Structure 1
Amino acid sequence: MPFLLGSVSRRWRQLARSTPQLWSTVSFTRVTRRGKDEPAPPPLQIINDWLQLSCSLPLTFCVVEDPSCEFFGEICRPVIDALNQHSGRWHKVSLQLYKHYLPFFCGTSPPNNLHTLEIGQDEEWDCDETPTTYFRMNSTPSPTRLAIEALNLLELDVSWGNVTCLTLVGLPPHECILATRLAPLLECCTLFELDLPIDDYSSALRSKRSFKNTRLRTLRLHGTADLLDVFIEAVEFPALEELIYGEEIFLPAHGFISLFNRSGNCLKKLTLNLCEDSGEIAENLMELLEAIPSLEHLECVFPIRSSAMDSLFQKLSWSPPDSEFIPKLQSLTLCVYSSISVLGFMSCIFSWSHRKDLRLTVNTAGFRTEDGDLDEISQLVEKGYNIRLV
């Protein structure tokens, strides 16, 4: 885009080349050698010019390997060398490469501006492989946001002292637990696809004393429930305020309740993506919500009008002010990928005095309405109830 702007006219070109902000983000997502009739990749001189035109601004860049290019290593290495010359300005870095390319990102000066570091690879993680440090710069980076995909933690030489936001993809449970131990300032942790085999060490964690992280406030979990249970049962988060869970077939209510009880049960926001409908999920959902009296914000995603959703509406409709069922609830958001009718439950929920200030949002593919339904909803809104239908 900056080159296109500069091609309009001489004045535009002068303006583009004198605006460093246009050049502070670089993306090498298609570093490939084209066919005869296709445009060639940018020559190294253009890449160097781009980096120079960004002046001294913090640099954001992304390098993604194209597995279909047999010449990728030949083309990629000069790009990496050019980026290394500006390592002191690295601010947000994303590397999606086979790990044997990672040692080339060594830098020529300390990456003191590095805020975000994302490193991943397409190769499957091999727990039997002897750990080797693949990413090791001349001066150890200390990012605030760190994302790792399918890499052993020992394969990365980074400082964990400033990490506040951590994302782990495709790692076994014991690696995830180790990461929470290494990051004393961790406030937000996201775990995806913990579906690798559990070795003897991680299985033994069930009987060990819980590890406590006193700063973690937000926890996002997506993946195989059995493997997540290993992680859940080995940690304790006294400051945990928000839990986001997405799993298609199972809701580990007992594991979450155990975690909340160990941590002091101060959860305020819960987001659940329940893609399956079953009586067990409905039962687990009610058991989980009954165990979180501190909950203020609840968001649930359902594929269809499910038994879990009906159970939730019924429980809210039958919960008087002295009920212990999420008494502090301030907002309820429902996302349903089918046509539903919620008016009957809505009237019952708002009939209770302690639900008057509840903010209700229903996001759905469509509403089934009968004669008078919209009038009744309008009357609730006119009375001051906070209802939003999307």
Structure 2
Amino acid sequence: MTVLSSRCNASKVLRPERCVVLDGKPCAACTEDIELEKQIGELETLIYELYNRRRALRTVMNDNHDHLIHNFPPEIVSHIFVLYATPNVSTHKNKRSTPLRLGAVCRKWRQLAWATPRLWSSLALDFTFGKNDPLHSLHLIDEWLERSASLPLTIRYDDRSAHPQAANILNKHSARWHDVHFDIAVHHLHHLNSPSQGNSSCLLVLRYPFQFSVRPFDFPPFRATELALKSVPVPHVNITWNNITVAFLYDICVDQCIEVIRRAPLLRTFRLQAIKPLSHIFPLPNARILHPQVRSFELSENSSNVVATLDSLSFPSLEEWINDDYSQLWNGPELPEKMTSFIRCSPSLKIFKINIDHISCHRIIEGLHHFSTIEVLGLHSVLHRFRIIQLLDALCAPTQSQSPLFLPHLQSLEFVSKIYFPWESLPQIFSSSRWRSLRVKVNTRSGGHDTEVKTAEVLGELMEGFDLSIGKIDEPEWYY
């Protein structure tokens, strides 16, 4: 039996070299352990050497079998890398094609990828809802932006909670911000610098948190070109309004919507959704506010508050009006009259798109008689196939000789249908001599697949020479 020294019997395990007996040598167990540790060290060294040899061997294998690096100059390979790995920062898509995956292939790919600044000039960070994104590593964010050298930066930064350290890293490169999208809580706006480039594009989405205390404006106004307010009162927004060209207001009071028009002289696109009643913070105007720059106006999920909005605004340069309305207001006695009055103030209107669900066919046709300047008419339906049939019949009905020409400047008719489209009613449009040169576009949820393809082929044969296109609905990537 092996005899242990008195030091080995201690409660604390000691290193073998500290174990000695009376003659100054370690005990038998410690001697064996020392020998095993030596052998383990030798094997670990051998394994390390084998890994190095294998790594070098795989480098040679990559050199022998990598047709990309050997067959193309570095400039071409870099361009291919950029085409593969540049992310779509507006939608957070293509995360699988991150340039980090290129660097994981082999050493030469990594060296070339790390030395290609264009690969790192776009960055999408999403800190919302506790997402486990590998790019949440602050060190990696810093390295990513450093690799972009001096190129202009495209950045999307979504952060509903506070991550000031990530914001500080982005701020280090604010002089190079070219196209940026910030989606943050309104009381975190002070964490970010304003874009310093005069030609930079900045979309700022501000949200109202569940728990929020008003923060004093102890920081310079933020410079943005596009603004989306989600339930954020206008008095809580500290921005430079003179640069705003696009505004989307959701769950904002009527008087505050009108105040945005007052404050943004360069506004060209104005979107309103879920408008709330008066907050009485700002006075309603006694006369219409004329804004000569607005070109596109969109109303969604309208309420009775729309009437007050239309009564207060005038867009003489308006070219596009989208009325994505799911309410019954069009059938009421007041809104059509207000819309007609609003249209008279917009003599340049060329495009009108409307959701026809919940609106009687008679009321739609009656309203369209006042849209004599439009060249593009878009009809959107989610629920009613029969409503589309009614409208097609009405459009193709013969016009009384004494009546004014219906839609005299119409050039294009667009249908967006999330139900099966009534194809059997479509040929009657082209049978009318008046609409024979009309461009007709039909987008359906199943466009380009199965039944829709067969239908397109049949219609193409029947209506050869007519301008008909069939497509699939692209579900909107709402960056707001």
1: CA distance, partners of 2:271 / 2:169: 32
Q: Which is further off, 39-48 or 20-29?
A: 39-48
2:469 maps to which residue?
388
Q: Offset of 1:132 from its aligned partner?
A: 4.0
When normalised by structure 2's length, the TM-score is 0.66
Query: Of residues 167, 182, 186 in structure 2, which corresponds to 1:99?
Result: 186
Give the CA deviation at 1:376: 8.7
Bigger mean CA deviation after superposition, 294-303 or 158-167: 158-167
Distance in 2 (alpha carbons) for counterparts of 1:145 and 1:91: 13
Task: State the distance in 2 between where 1:362 and 1:16 align.
Answer: 43
2:441 aligned partner: 361
Q: SS state of the match for residue 309, structure 1?
A: helix
Deviation at 1:178, TM superposition (A): 1.5
In the alignment, does 2:327 pair up with 1:249?
Answer: yes
* Map of 1:60 onto structure 2: 154
1:148 counterpart residue number: 229
Deviation at residue 28 of structure 1 after TM alignment: 2.3
> 1:226 deviation in Å?
1.5
Q: CA deviation at 1:41?
A: 6.5
**Residue of structure 2 equivalent to 1:15:** 112
| Greater RCO, 1 or 2 (C-alpha within 8 Å, sep 6+) | 1
**2:424 equivalent among 333, 340, 343:** 343
Aligned to 1:268: 350
Q: How does 1:80-119 map to 2 (within 5 A)?
A: 80-106=167-193, 110=196, 112=198, 114-119=200-205
Instruction: State the distance in 2 between where 1:249 and 1:232 align.
Output: 16
Alignment of structure 1 residues 301-316 onto 2, 5 Å = 301-306=380-385, 308-316=387-395
Displacement after TM superposition at 1:219 (Å): 0.9
CA deviation digits over 1:307-366, x for unaligned, max 9?
Answer: 54344222211144964211211111122333343434632x334332121112233468
| Offset, 1:147 | 2.7
Q: Counterpart of 1:92 in structure 2: which amino acid?
A: D
Q: CA RMSD in A?
A: 3.4
Q: Is the 8 A contact 1:285 1:308 kept in 2?
A: no
Q: Deviations over 1:12-46 (max 9, x none)?
A: 12222222222122222137989xxx897644322
> Partners in 2 of 1:375 and 1:83 — Cα distance?
52
Aligned-residue offset at 1:380: 5.1
Cα pair distance change 1:352/1:175, threshold 3 Å: same
User: SS of the residue aligned with 2:229?
Assistant: strand
After TM superposition, give the deviation of residue 235 of structure 1 in Å: 0.3
Partner Cα distance (1:351, 1:361) in 2: 16
How far apart, in 2, do the equivalents of 1:353 and 1:92 lie?
Answer: 48
Kindly provide the CA deviation profile for residues 135-190 of structure 1, in whole angstroms up to 9, marking residues without a partner as x. Answer: x44xx454333333232333333223233222222222222212122222222222
Partner of 2:307: 229
The structural deviation recorded for 1:246 is 1.0
Q: Distance in 1 between matches of 2:230 and 2:383?
A: 32
Of residues 92-101 and 176-185 in structure 1, the stretch that sits farther from structure 2 once superposed is 92-101
Contact 1:267 1:295 in 2 (8 A): yes
Asked if the contact 1:314–1:345 (Cα under 8 Å) also holds between the matched residues in 2, the reply is no
User: Which secondary structure state, in structure 2, belongs to the residue aligned with residue 238 of structure 1?
Assistant: coil
1:184 aligns with 2:265: yes
**Aligned equivalents of 2:467, 2:136: Cα separation in 1:** 54
Give the whole-Å Cα distance in 2 for the aligned partners of 1:164 and 1:32: 30
Instruction: Pick which of 337-346 and 154-163 moved more.
Output: 337-346
Same amino acid, percent of matched pairs:
25
Match of 1:133 among 207, 214, 217: 217
Change (3 A) 1:190 1:344: closer
- Secondary structure in structure 2 of the residue aligned to 1:225: coil
SS across alignment from 1:97: strand
Spell out, residue by residue over 1:206-229, the C-alpha distance to the aligned partner (whole angstroms, 9 max, x if none). x72000011211112212331222
SS at match of 2:463: helix
Higher share of residues assigned strand = 1
Structure 1 residues 315 and 176, CA gap change in structure 2 (3 angstroms): same
Tell me: CA distance 1:345–1:12, structure 2 relative to 1, closer, same or farther (3 Å): closer
Deviation at 1:272, TM superposition (A): 1.3
Cα pair distance change 1:39/1:178, threshold 3 Å: closer
Hey, what does 2:368 align to over in structure 1? 289
Rate the CA distance shift 1:201–1:225 in 2: closer, same or farther, 3 A: same
Distance, in Å, in 2 between the alignment partners of 1:154 and 1:295 is: 37
Residues 254 and 279 of structure 2 are in contact (CA less than 8 Å); yes or no, is this contact kept in structure 1?
Answer: no
- Give the alignment's TM-score, normalised by structure 1: 0.80
Structure 1 residue aligned with 2:40: none
Q: Distance in 1 between matches of 2:323 and 2:438?
A: 23
1:152-231 aligned at under 5 Å gives the runs: 152-194=233-275, 196-200=276-280, 205=284, 208-231=286-309
Q: Is the 8 A contact 1:321 1:327 kept in 2?
A: no
Asked if structure 1 preserves the Cα contact closer than 8 Å seen for 2:125 and 2:135, the reply is no
User: Does structure 1 conserve the Cα–Cα contact (< 8 Å) formed by 2:318 and 2:349?
Assistant: yes
Q: How far, CA to CA, are the matches of 2:272 and 2:211 in structure 1? A: 15
Question: Residue by residue, what CA displacement relative to the aligned partner does 1:51-73 show, whole Å, maximum 9, x if unpaired?
Answer: 2112222223233236xxxxx64
Of 188, 207, 210 in structure 2, the residue corresponding to residue 121 of structure 1 is 207
